[in-house]
């Protein structure tokens, strides 16, 4: 029986030109100090293509000039010694069972295999080596893919290097049924944990304790992975978009903005909610909150295939141009941009800010995106953001976060109940 990972690899190979060998690395945790390393986080594209969450592995996929394909997975050999200290490495039969790759070899064979690959291509035309050459910051540490590209250019100058980031992104942007099922589980866990946090909240509580209530609830559900570092921001601190100190006291009468989410098998939920720490919105807080909520619901109703994220954001800005004036915000030269200064949506999946391909800038069925309008009124110490995750369907959008408390009435009713 073909695994979903075989299907995904076949889809990637179909997008690659003949005479291409693609290498995808699982990654390796960098050392922190002495004998301790940082927590390992698997390369998301490697996981997408293999289903394996282990470090120090290399996936090789070859597409010959005649269209034939081959796959090899390089892994660390099993060690009885390390098994006693940190647990057993994945054995060859386990890697084969999970990934569906029959040809499993050990990393000590990789250099020889690389040389044989290049040598065997002589007479077949130019060999293209496909690598994910992602780089977010120009001075960030090289990935294993960057390292291999440099080695190839030095030792085998006739080899052509190609960045296959776009091909990987094009596949990952369209979620299959299995992926959506994982994302639904992440939504469910996040929903339960948000309810626990709201129920626990009291005036004078430190943001760290609120964050802890969320974390504890996830742990009680058997979920240890967060989609990203949680934001728990009380009062004026909520006007800083990526506030992450989470260590200040939230006073009576203040709102708390939370932006957080669980991840299930690395598939993310990304949810923002804003609630009064004492359980009761003031009339002013409610008026601002309901304005943000109306903007969000407008986008969710409007989202459909063919639209762009920019068009969704324009819906919010145009709505705010009318809605903010009665609230007294558009005066003294102020504009919408003074109170709303981020986009309304981004792709969501194995990464919270998931991969994108510029050629797929219009929504398609199977994409999952966030919808997160906000209002940030620093002079009043109020920051509000409401974020749901939606699945684009053939005719519109499904709100994956529909079960998470959202209206002021729902929030107040939940927080006062025992």
**Residues annotated catalytic, as ranges:** 35, 242, 259, 270, 342, 346, 353, 372, 376, 385, 387
Angstrom distances, CA of residue 202 to CA of 159, 210, 381: 63, 9, 18
Contact 289, 274 (CB under 8 A): yes
* Nearest partner of 15 among 125, 181, 174, 145, judged by Cα: 174
Q: Which two tokens stand for residue 395?
A: 């005719």
Contact 269, 366 (CB under 8 A): no
* Cβ proximity of 189 and 220 under 8 Å: no
Residue 113 CB-half CA count within 13 A:
19
Question: What would the 3-class secondary structure string for the chain be?
Answer: CCCHHHHHHHHHHHHCCCCEEEEEECCCCCEEECCEECCCCCCHHHHHHHCCCCCCCEEEEEECCCCCEEEEEEECCCCHHHHHHHCCCCCHHHHHHHHCCCCEEEHHHHHHHHHHHHHHCCCCCCCEEEECCCCCCCCCCCCHHHHHHHHHHHHCCCCEEEECHHHHHHHHCCCCHHHHHHHHHHHHHHHHHHHHHHHHCCCCEEHHHHHHHHHHHHHHCCCCCECCCCEEEEHHHHHCCCCCCCCCEECCCCEEEEEECEEECCEECCEEEEEECCCCCCHHHHHHHHHHHHHHHHHHHHCCCCCEHHHHHHHHHHHHHHHCCCCCCCCCCCCHHHCCCCCCCCECCCCCCCCCCHHHCECCCCCEEEECCEEEEHHHCEEEECEEEEEECCCCEEECCCCCCCCHHHHHHHHHCC
């Amino acid at each position: 029986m073909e695994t979903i990972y075989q299907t995904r690899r076949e889809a990637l190979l179909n997008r690659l030109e003949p005479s291409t060998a693609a290498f995808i690395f699982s990654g390796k945790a960098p050392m922190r100090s002495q004998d301790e390393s940082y927590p390992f986080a698997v390369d998301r594209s490697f996981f997408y293509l293999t289903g394996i969450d282990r470090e120090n592995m290399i996936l090789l996929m070859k597409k010959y000039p005649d269209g034939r394909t081959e796959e090899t997975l390089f892994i660390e050999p099993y060690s009885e010694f390390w098994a006693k200290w940190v647990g057993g490495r994945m054995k060859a039969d386990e890697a084969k069972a999970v990934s569906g790759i029959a040809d499993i070899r050990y990393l000590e064979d990789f250099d020889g295999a690389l040389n044989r690959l290049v040598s065997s291509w002589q007479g077949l035309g130019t060999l293209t080596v496909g690598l994910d050459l992602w780089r977010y910051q120009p001075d960030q540490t090289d990935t294993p893919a960057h390292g291999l590209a440099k080695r190839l250019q030095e030792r085998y100058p006739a080899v052509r290097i190609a960045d296959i980031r776009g091909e990987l992104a094009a596949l990952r942007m369209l979620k299959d049924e299995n992926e959506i099922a994982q994302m639904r589980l992440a939504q469910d866990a996040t929903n339960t944990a948000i309810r626990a946090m709201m129920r626990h909240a009291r005036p004078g509580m430190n943001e760290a304790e609120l964050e802890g209530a969320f974390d504890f609830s996830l742990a009680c559900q058997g979920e240890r992975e967060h989609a990203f570092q949680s934001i728990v921001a009380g009062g004026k601190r909520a006007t800083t978009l990526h506030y992450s100190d989470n260590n200040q006291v939230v006073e009576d009468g203040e709102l708390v903005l939370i932006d957080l989410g669980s991840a299930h098998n690395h598939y993310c939920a990304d949810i923002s909610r804003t609630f009064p720490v004492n359980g009761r919105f003031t009339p002013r807080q409610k008026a601002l909150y309901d304005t943000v909520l109306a903007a969000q619901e407008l986008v969710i109703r409007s989202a459909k295939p063919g639209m762009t994220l920019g068009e969704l954001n324009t819906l919010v800005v145009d709505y705010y141009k009318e809605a903010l004036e009665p609230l007294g915000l558009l005066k003294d030269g102020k504009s919408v941009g003074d109170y709303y200064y981020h986009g309304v949506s981004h792709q969501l999946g194995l990464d919270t800010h998931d991969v994108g391909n510029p050629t797929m800038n219009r929504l398609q069925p199977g994409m999952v995106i966030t919808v997160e309008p906000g209002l940030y009124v620093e002079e009043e110490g109020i920051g509000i953001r409401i974020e749901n995750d939606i699945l684009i369907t053939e005719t519109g959008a499904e709100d994956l976060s529909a079960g998470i408390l959202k209206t002021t009435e729902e929030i107040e009713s939940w927080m006062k109940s025992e």
